[in-house]
Amino acid sequence: MDFNEKDKFVMEKSGAGTSAGGGGGGGGDHLSCQSSGIPSDWQIPLLSMVESFNPGIWNNTTTSSQNLGWTSSEPIPKVPLFLQPVPTGLPPSLSHIPADSAFIERAARFSCFNGGGLSGVVNPFATSEPLNPFSGVPRGVPTAPESELNLADAPPGEHRSQSGGSPMKKHRGKGSLQIGASSSEPGDTDNTNGASQEETSIGEPSSKGILGAKKRKRIINQDVELNQQQPAENAKDDSESKQITESQPTGKAAGKQVKEISDTPKDDYIHVRARRGQATNSHSLAERVRREKISQRMKFLQDLVPGCSKVTGKAVMLDEIINYVQSLQRQVEFLSMKLATVNPRLEFNIEGLLAKELVHSRGCSSSSIGFSSDIMHPQLHSSQQGLVHPGICSMVNPPDALRRAVNPQFAPLNGFKEPTSQMPNAWDDEHHNMAQMPFSTNPSLSTQEMNAKPHDGFSM
């Protein structure tokens, strides 16, 4: 009867394991329902199978524990959890798993953390096993005592998820062996050690095993989710998995355990792991990429917008950019207004203008610029109210007042007013200097000037 209960537990646990494995594989959430809904009359032949196969493969497990003892001490390259070939056959350690529930518990605990690292160890071992009766696809083979058996008789649609679940079992068996050896006596990995652990855990009451299984199920699910997010950091995972396996048996602390039991809460580990996993989440990765892109473009804009290089902070920089764009738009408007006031009868030579762009070249006759300032006034009032006042002032004031106006923004305005009021030669020179400043060949100089304009000329 004790065995029957244990077997129930095994099936429950296998349901948990397959659900975790299916979630890790990217699909097959329905598997857990399938495997948990197995009729109870399966349990008796299953049990008999287990008992029949237990003694035969017992030796193999001990050898495997030996082998794993030294492989665990050296760094193992991390392999993705479900990328390994599935039908390599069940490892021999699986056969004894249903016999002791505590062993399975430990196995299940371990597999989520270190299964990937162990898979590299497990697989060659399983393939080189000559006595393996489970070699090949476990489908239809009634010897597999765990969820492999249950899944083998499931509808054929489950085959893929079953194959996802079976390596988990393998890791579980192996991983438990490794942990049992390493956590109890890290240096010494004997057969006797693993065997004694198994034997001691056999006699454990099954109710505790079920309790532990429920707890474990929760933890397994959480940890499998986290483990997907961070496939790297093998060493840390190793240490943490050891810690957690040590902290796990608090549920069955009354059981005769060989290894030490630490009372550290599990939630701490889970919390830390979750936080670490968030950094490599796909959403946070995308967000990081976006932030980098934004900062790169901000840097480019910083070079583009004058006076923005010293500014630190995104908000201030955005302010500067907005001001600059506004000022540029106003300038375009203002220049178009100024060009519109040019006499339309004026002849333009585009080629000459374009040539003048490169070399200082000829111009057309501009003597026919005839307009009056009273035409300009309504335009100024309508569009550029900020410019009206200085424009009028410059009209009223004598040219020496204009000389004091260092702002080159009003240079074209003054030039515009020039024909109406007969300007002296000093005016002309002044304006010429002003107008030439923004067209200097040094682009940084001109941009500096353009930046200075919005604050001076367009402050209202």
Partner 1 sequence: MHFNKCSEATRNPNPTPDLNPNLNVSKTMQATYFLRAFTVINSASPTSSTMQRRRSIRRAAYASMARAAGNRRAWSRAVLRRLHRGLCLSSSARRFVIRRRIRVSRPREPGQADVLRSLVPGGKAMDFCNLLEETATYIQCLSAQVRRGRKDIRWVYYPG
CB nearer to partner 1: pick between 128 and 372: 372
Minimum CB separation of residue 400 from partner 1 in Å reads: 21
Give the pair of three-digit tokens for residue 407. Answer: 């702002």
Give the pair of three-digit tokens for residue 131. Answer: 């006595």
Amino acid letter for position 22: G
- Is residue 315 involved in binding partner 1 (CB under 8 A)? yes
Minimum CB separation of residue 392 from partner 1 in Å reads: 18
Among residue numbers 375 through 394, which ones bind partner 1 (CB under 8 A)? 375, 379, 382-383
Minimum CB separation of residue 389 from partner 1 in Å reads: 20
Stretch that binds partner 1, among 31-39, 133-141, 392-400, 428-436 (CB under 8 A): 428-436
Minimum CB separation of residue 418 from partner 1 in Å reads: 7
| Close Cβ partners of 102 (under 8 Å, ≥ 6 residues apart) | 201, 202, 204, 209, 252, 255
Among 447, 452, 456, 458, binds partner 1 (CB under 8 A): 447
Among 286, 364, 401, 406, binds partner 1 (CB under 8 A): 364
Neighbours of 80 (CB within 10 A): 11
Minimum CB separation of residue 450 from partner 1 in Å reads: 7
- The site string for partner 1 over 285-304 (x = CB under 8 A, - otherwise) reads -----x--xx--xx-xx--x
CB nearer to partner 1: pick between 40 and 295: 295
CB nearer to partner 1: pick between 113 and 324: 324
- Is residue 418 involved in binding partner 1 (CB under 8 A)? yes
Task: State how far the Cα of 460 lies from the Cα of 453, in Å rounded to an integer.
Answer: 12
Minimum CB separation of residue 23 from partner 1 in Å reads: 33
Minimum CB separation of residue 318 from partner 1 in Å reads: 4
- Is residue 353 involved in binding partner 1 (CB under 8 A)? yes
Stretch that binds partner 1, among 18-26, 109-117, 345-353, 393-401 (CB under 8 A): 345-353
Among 328, 388, 392, 445, binds partner 1 (CB under 8 A): 328
Q: b/e map of 305-337 (b: 16 or more CB within 10 Å)?
A: bbbbeebeeeeebeebbebbeebeebbeebeeb
CB nearer to partner 1: pick between 128 and 441: 441
Stretch that binds partner 1, among 147-155, 186-194, 329-337, 387-395 (CB under 8 A): 329-337
- Is residue 426 involved in binding partner 1 (CB under 8 A)? no
CB nearer to partner 1: pick between 235 and 332: 332
| Interaxial angle between packed helices 159-184 and 2-25, expressed in degrees from 0 to 180 and rounded to the nearest 10 | 110
CB nearer to partner 1: pick between 152 and 308: 308
Task: State how far the Cα of 166 lies from the Cα of 244, in Å rounded to an integer.
Answer: 23
CB nearer to partner 1: pick between 200 and 379: 379
CB nearer to partner 1: pick between 390 and 408: 408
Give the pair of three-digit tokens for residue 340. Answer: 């519109």
CB nearer to partner 1: pick between 59 and 336: 336
Residue of 331, 324, 327, 273 lying closest to 302 (CA atoms): 324
Among 79, 141, 258, 342, binds partner 1 (CB under 8 A): 342
- Is residue 339 involved in binding partner 1 (CB under 8 A)? yes
Among 46, 416, 427, 457, binds partner 1 (CB under 8 A): 416
> Footprint of partner 1 on this chain (CB under 8 A)?
290, 293-294, 297-298, 300-301, 304-305, 315, 318-319, 321-322, 324-326, 328-329, 331-333, 335-342, 344-346, 348, 350, 353-354, 356-357, 362-366, 369, 375, 379, 382-383, 412, 415-416, 418, 431-432, 435-436, 438-439, 446-447, 450
